[in-house]
Amino acid sequence: MRPETSDDILVDPPLVPHPELHIGKLDNGLKYVIFPNSVPPNRFEAHIEIHAGSVDEHDDEQGLAHFVEHVTFLGSKKREKLLGTGARSNAYTDFHHTVFHVHAPLVSVEGNQMLPQVLEALDDIAFHPQFLATRVEKERRAVLSEAQMMNTIEYRVDCQLLQSLHAENKLGHRFPIGSSKRVEISQVEHLRAFHKRWYFPANATLYIVGDFGRTIPEVEQLIETAFGHEPLAREELPDGSMGPVKQRHQLRPPVLHAFGTPFNPDEVPGGSHVAQEAGVNIFRHALQPQFSLSLFQKVPVSRVDSLSGLRNVFMYRIVLSTLQFRINQRYMTQQDPTFVAIEFDHSDSAREGCAVSTLTVTAEAAQWKEAMKVAVEEVRRLYQHGCTEAELTRYSAALMRDSEQLAQQSGRVPSVDNLDFVMEQHALGHTVMDQAKAHESLMEVSTTVDVEDVNAVAESLLGYIANYKQPDPKEVESGVCTAIVACVPDTPETADVTEEALINVLCAPDEGSSAAYEEVTVPDQLITQGEVEQLLNERRPAFVPVQEGPAEALSGPDPVTGVYLRRLSNGVKVNYQVEKNEPGGASIRVEVPGGRAMEKALVGKDGWGSVTIGMRTLSEVGTVHGWVREQTELFCLQHLVSCELDCDEEFMFMEFRCAVGDKEGEADGMRAVLEILHLLIEKPQWQEAAMARSKNMYLSHFQSQQKSLERATSCRLIDSMVGDDRRLKDPCEEDINALSLDWLSKVIATQLKTENLEVSIVGDVDPAKLDNQLLAYLGTLTTGPMFDPKDVEDPINLRLDLPPHHPARNQRFHLYDSDERACAYMAGPAPNKWGKNTQLEPSGKSMVVLAAERQMAQKADMAATGGGDMSRITDMNSERASRVQHPLFSTVSLMLMVEILNSRLFTTVRDALGLTYDVSFEMRMFERLESGWFVLAVTSMPSKIDDALAASLRTIRALRTQPIRKSELDRARRTLLTRHESDMKDNLYLLGLITHLQSECVPEKTVDCIKDLLPMLTAATVEDIYAAYDALPLENSHLFSCIGTSGKQPPGQQQQQASAPAPTPTGTPQNENSSNILDDPKAAAAALLQAMKAVGMGNNKPEDPPTGNQQ
């Protein structure tokens, strides 16, 4: 059995529930949970959870839970009235519940109180659906399209895992997306019957979390007003009379389990039993990219409602941390690792009603045996020898620092995160605690944990793997493995992956686990204080004025934004902002202009991929100067530092997150980050083994490209857009093999110059202390000359010279697969963030600004020739001209345009025409590069994908013929303002706002871009949107497209005979038979126009489209 107590804990007091969590119930059985939370201010979350999901469906109802969710949500008139108020709504279905949720302001833009209106809308959605035939048909099409969209190979693998893990119950056979065949034939009466059976007050829980502006009793009265009139639901007897009051399931989900360990019968569903040792299930598929093996043990959830339960969780996390770190070290010691990933997890699953331990092994197919051996060796080593005292001390300290940081964030967690946490904990039966009190309780139990306790937990957790099909030498009741699933590429090379072969590897004796783990010495500092003082004396760093002329080098923060600007004498630029969104924490972003756009200039044709693989190699090295990787990783763990190195087309960047220590003797994560950054730039390590691992990763990524419909289709689109320029493409095998370590180091070093470095910091920092640290660690970097990418790099241009009907412009691709799916992408040139596209406007001026200036000139001309009020036109143009010249004018206009276009796409292509479940319009708005592009993406069925893409394009082109209404602009504006308000509580979002404030490569961005964002959004007009739209060329001569389909045969071809050999599971280009989807037949345009009128363009779209099931 799982260890639950210690001799040091003589009593087991219950955990203290959160004092502000209020739970009640109406007379009709509706349960409600109220939790005041002030982040974000003046906004709240309201979710109603119906305790019915896919496991509640009968055999002939598969898919009805999801179908009903769609119809009730989008069919509600009261929900429609939330549109335009600043609220966002959505819904999803899972195994055990269906949830409808609304995020809303306390007061609408019209000044109305939103909480009563939101509660009325949720009552209407849940208990008063109309089930109109028109809505049912629309959502039938949407559900079917969604089912095809999500049926990726990854989803199919997840289904295989769940089918094996839950073979004894409905969880393995009732997936929330449902059966497409059943959805196709389900009628209104079937939906009504399912709704009547499960949608009643006693089978629902209402959650309200946020800043209500009311007392708890006042919120309760609103709940009573909105839901109290709903009657008690009663069972309907066979004779039609009403029977006893209906009750919700006592257990969620209502299924029995075959557990891997003995259990208390009173704590699990009746009929549950102890499982037999599992064999191996093998899933083979041609599109499976790699070998993966999952070993499961299913056990009952151990409720965390007392100190002993909290103590167990603490020890579980120590075991998981110990094992994962050891596995990572095995990976880093190999030049050609035998595995891609090995991970062990133990977690409670509310959606499945159990806890699950999982060992997952991922490897290239040819190395499956070696990968499994490593996993089994490390599991057995920890099982047999346990963790060391040093490991216990190290991971205990890290967990306690993490807990302390969470305690500091009490009262600052966003409402939606708190709500999700409360829902999950309630479903599991855990006690919801205040973070500060939880930390106190964890401190209390942590002192009772010793090595023997932790090793007992390790034995109970890992025994099902270490002793698979073998007697347990330790005689620990660790139980049996309840499911094993191997997912394998269906190729001749994997013929040796059989059940017998897999079991033989799992059961084989090994020598690797016989030796205990060797401990690693962890440094307190990577740069000693003596070394820092020596650097300060030698290099004499100083702060210099940010701007030329008389100015203070250490000025205070900007009075409006609170941003500090610093510049060091060696050229390093620093922007930082003091924020307590995450008390005790900070986020750091280092950016260097260059990125993949520099590959052609620095290396030439043999250097494609050099920047991206170079940054990955530096990351794979994982250490700096004279330290080994294990030491650096443990140093980061000790200071709660996480680090990511990467690049995009424009920049190389490094991102760090850390804990900030203020107490005497407390580890200082900010200092640790700056030490790492100093050594990474000053004394990086470059290793052949790290480069080999990086190359293998990218090679594997490239080789799997043709097994993904979405990736293969989008890659063909990029090929057609840029031709031989490989800077926007994944490195291919030829690119990867051509790279050398010498080239990689030179490419990265060329860009990593102090004059190029811009460091942005947001967090709970002390300015005086941070200034001293910046001076000591960044100011002492060796001065390097500025490297301006614009001096050498070639622009990234699209192939606009191709004729409109050139085959490369309109491609088709088919992926042979067992299941049918389809997606399509269309792209064309667009401005960058500042409105520029030098390929279309060589002057370098903003295309959006030029369009606005033309609008103003036309107004003036019309007034002059038509006898209009010239003074009024002059005043309006004067006011607008000041906005037009603002750096944010293009950015804001383009962002609002994207919102409006996406709203129309949803309303027309998804809702009115029923051609897709998912359609989106996005723009790649660069900040440094003086160009960009847009991408239109749509999914559908193979039989409808052409129509879906054509309708999407016509919808975008119709922005002129169907003028933008002010209501559309207002809703788009509110969406962006609400998103901004919510994101302001996120340090990473704030980092994005302050990054580039001092970058010479992005001269348009100044502090005014932060100050004036809200005023610019508020002042934007419909004319501004059309100025942005005019900068978007939508003629056929500027567009590229690729349609991808999958299935046993390409669309339109006859099925091969059963005796015919199966095609090779790779993609096939089909340009020769393709029609030009860019053509715009009058009949189709007329049909589209009629559909747009039928739905009232832009009025019927939820702020967020429904996601259906979320798995």
Active site residue ranges: 69, 139
Q: How far apart are CA 562 and CA 1064, in angstroms?
A: 60
First-to-last CA distance in the chain?
31
Q: How far apart are CA 499 and CA 497, in angstroms?
A: 7
Q: How far apart are CA 335 and CA 694, in angstroms?
A: 10
Tell me the C-alpha to C-alpha distance, in Å, between residue 724 and each of 92, 355, 880, 939, 999: 43, 51, 43, 28, 30
Q: How far apart are CA 145 and CA 180, in angstroms?
A: 9
For residue 691, which phi and psi values (nearest 5 degrees)? -65, -40
The one-letter amino acid code at 538 reads E
Q: Return the half-sphere exposure (C-beta side, CA atoms, 13 A cut-off) of residue 1003.
A: 4
Is residue 1005 a contact partner of residue 905, using CB atoms and an 8 Å limit?
no
Q: How many residues does the chain have?
A: 1111
> Which residues on adjacent β-strands are paired with residue 258?
273
Is residue 739 a contact partner of residue 607, using CB atoms and an 8 Å limit?
yes
Strands (E) in 106-168, as ranges, are none
Is residue 653 a contact partner of residue 589, using CB atoms and an 8 Å limit?
yes
Measuring CA to CA, which residue among 152, 145, 153, 149 is closest to residue 184?
145
Which string of b and e fits 842-872 if b means at least 16 CB within 10 Å? Answer: eeeebbbbbbbbebbeebbeebeeeeeeeee
How buried is 356 (Cβ within 10 angstroms: 0-12 exposed, 13-18 middle, 19+ buried)? buried
For residue 523, cis peptide bond before it (omega within 30 degrees of 0): no
Strand-strand pairing, 651-659 and 642-647: antiparallel
Strand-strand pairing, 1108-1109 and 88-93: parallel
Q: How far apart are CA 862 and CA 832, in angstroms?
A: 31
Q: How far apart are CA 83 and CA 999, in angstroms?
A: 40
Is residue 1026 a contact partner of residue 964, using CB atoms and an 8 Å limit?
yes
Is residue 760 a contact partner of residue 994, using CB atoms and an 8 Å limit?
yes
Tell me the C-alpha to C-alpha distance, in Å, between residue 526 and each of 662, 673, 675, 949: 20, 10, 6, 55
Please state, as a whole number, how many other Cβ atoms lie within 10 Å of the Cβ of residue 734. 11
Is residue 577 a contact partner of residue 762, using CB atoms and an 8 Å limit?
yes
Is residue 6 a contact partner of residue 456, using CB atoms and an 8 Å limit?
no
The one-letter amino acid code at 125 reads I
157 three-class SS: helix
All residues at 6 or more sequence positions from 441 whose CB lies less than 8 Å from its CB, including other chains: 15, 16, 307, 310, 433
Furthest-apart CA pair in the chain: how many Å? 100
H-only helix segments in 10-130: 64-74, 77-80, 114-127
How buried is 689 (Cβ within 10 angstroms: 0-12 exposed, 13-18 middle, 19+ buried)? middle
Strand-strand pairing, 280-285 and 758-763: unpaired
Strands (E) in 764-894, as ranges, are 810-816, 821-830
Tokens of 760: 């942005």
